[in-house]
Amino acid sequence: EELLDRVVTINRVSKTHKGGRTFSFAALVVVGDGKGTVGVGYGKSREVPAAIAKGQLDAKKHMFTVPRIRGTVTHPVLGHDAAGTVLLRPAAPGTGVIAGGAVRAVMECAGITDILTKSMGSATAVNVVRATVDALKKLEEPEEICARRGLSLEEVAPDALLRERAAGIAEARKAREEAQAAKAAQAKDGE
């Protein structure tokens, strides 16, 4: 299956030896399927293409699933890494991805189309991306929250979500009934 990948940053790093400095490149890469699965990887090599390839492999090893509802996150969440903090908030359909470059790369690869984000503290790409991943890993499905807190879905989920789910269920039921009617009509024609 085809994966999206975004190179967030490439840093030139050096190691000091007795005989001088050795330079290499470090690449931060985000990989995702655009349908709710995303991973972040870090690769280092003497050459840029090799560093990117290593980053992609690392990202594929660390992929995880993001709970989404209609292209946005299920609830507001804060993620932290080092001095970086990222706030993710659900947004109405049509809002788009309101995010800076590092956060935007993660959202695009995760398949999130509508979201409000705010990056605070460290602006270093590595910290921002890791804080974003931390926030995404903290997300829960409404059903998980209900089970943990002993509440019903109506008490936990926003009305719009419940209407959306009800509409989706009704749509699926209607499609199923139409398919059955078509099958019955086809069977009748065959007699």
pLDDT at residue 168, rounded to an integer = 67
At 94-144, the pLDDT tens digits run 999 999 989 999 999 999 999 999 999 999 999 999 999 999 999 998 888
pLDDT at residue 185, rounded to an integer = 85
CATH number for the domain running over 4-142:
3.30.230.10
- For the entire predicted model, the pTM comes to 0.80
Return the HEC string of the chain: CCCEEEEEEEEEEEEEECCEEEEEEEEEEEEECCCCEEEEEEEEECCHHHHHHHHHHHHHHCCEECCEECCEECCCEEEEECCEEEEEEECCCCCCEECCHHHHHHHHHHCCCCEEEEEEECCCHHHHHHHHHHHHHHCCCHHHHHHHHCCCHHHHCCHHHHHHHHHHHHHHHHHHHHHHHHHHHHHHHHC
pLDDT at 26 over 70: yes
